[in-house]
Amino acid sequence: MLDSFVFSAIGQAVLLLIIVRGFLSRNLRRYPLFYAYMSYVLLGAFSCHLADFLYGWGSLEYYYAYHVPNLLAPVFQVALLYDIHRRVFGNTKLALRRIIESVILVLTIAVPVGWRVFSIPSVGIFNRYHAVMLFVQMLACVIVLRRIVGQKDVDPGRNLRGILVGICLLVGLQGMNFANYFFKETSFMLFSFSLQFVYFLALAVFAYTLWNYEPVQTVCPDIAERLDHVKSEVEKAVRGLMSK
């Protein structure tokens, strides 16, 4: 319980730092959706502290103060992934083949967890909701990641790359946390600690990568081709060394 409280307090301090730094560096105007999400998370944390102070940690008021604000968190994250894709690629459409491949990949990972969550009668409605949304979030992460990795002539920049990595950390590690909680039946205290720790990691990534403004950059096709050639040569050299 103490460890969770410490991570929660540090996380809220980092949250406040991210928002203040965003205002000072004018990134708040450049990435309004991201900083709206950060402010929303901070307000949610404040409502939990207020409910804890007034009614106690185990009260029904605290339960709803914690879970109700979290209903919008997955929506914010999916919207941020869409915003990253729009800023990097504009309004270009995704190839149907890539979407199908991503859906199959995510179904393979997420369906077992979702099946277990919905098969246990004691699982609350909020956890069932997050199990469904984790599938949507994972699918959005996979689609955007595959598109960016496969695009050689566009560099998303440090800021968008940091937002993307932070969200993928949240979604991926939270999915693993839910899986451990429902499959291996770990304690709620360990589950709660893991939630706080994952948020702390993601916030650290956000704070570091959005400290200064570094926007999307277009890479010259010739340079992209050379980089790709260098990458392939390095991979060949590494394979040659490993085979000796």
Is the per-residue pLDDT at 147 higher than 80?
yes
Quickly list H helices, the chain. Answer: 2-24, 27-30, 32-55, 60-67, 73-89, 96-119, 125-150, 157-183, 188-209, 221-243
Mean pLDDT computed over every residue of the chain: 78
Cα 24 to the chain's mean position, in Å? Answer: 24
Query: Which residue pairs, CB below 8 angstroms and at least 24 apart, start in 38-47?
Result: 38/206, 40/69, 40/72, 40/73, 40/76, 41/15, 41/73, 42/12, 42/15, 42/16, 43/69, 44/69, 44/70, 44/73, 45/8, 45/11, 45/12, 45/15
Q: What percent of the chain has pLDDT over 70?
A: 69
Average pLDDT over residues 24-32: 92
Query: 67-85, pLDDT tens digit by residue?
Result: 888 889 989 999 999 999 8
Q: How far apart are CA 184 and CA 35, in angstroms?
A: 36
Q: CA–CA distance from 19 to each of 39, 66, 110 (Å)?
A: 7, 21, 33
pLDDT of residue 116: 63
The per-residue b/e assignment along 101-113, b for 16 or more CB within 10 angstroms, e otherwise, is ebeeebeebbeeb
Domains of the chain and CATH, by start:
2-219 (1.20.1070)
Q: pLDDT, tens digit, for every residue of 100-114?
A: 766 676 666 666 666
Identity of the residue numbered 226: R
Q: What span, in angstroms and rounded, lies between the C-alpha atoms of 143 and 147?
A: 6
Query: pLDDT class for 20, splitting at 50, 70, 90?
Result: very high
Question: Does pLDDT of 17 surpass 90?
Answer: yes
pLDDT in the model for residue 97: 67
Residue 77 near residue 171, CB atoms below 8 Å: yes
Sign of the Cα torsion 135, 139, 141, 142 reads: positive
Question: Is 241 a residue whose pLDDT tops 50?
Answer: no
Residue 151 DSSP SS3: coil
Go through 146-161 and write b for each residue having 16 or more CB atoms within 10 A of its CB, e for each that does not: bbbeeeeeebbbbbbb
Burial (CB count within 10 angstroms: exposed 0-12, middle 13-18, buried 19+), residue 172 = middle
- What's the token pair of residue 236? 């060949």
This prediction's pTM: 0.78
| Higher-pLDDT residue of 24, 224 | 24
Burial group, residue 242, by CB count within 10 angstroms (0-12, 13-18, 19+): exposed
pLDDT attached to residue 37: 95
| pLDDT for residue 172 is more than 70 | yes
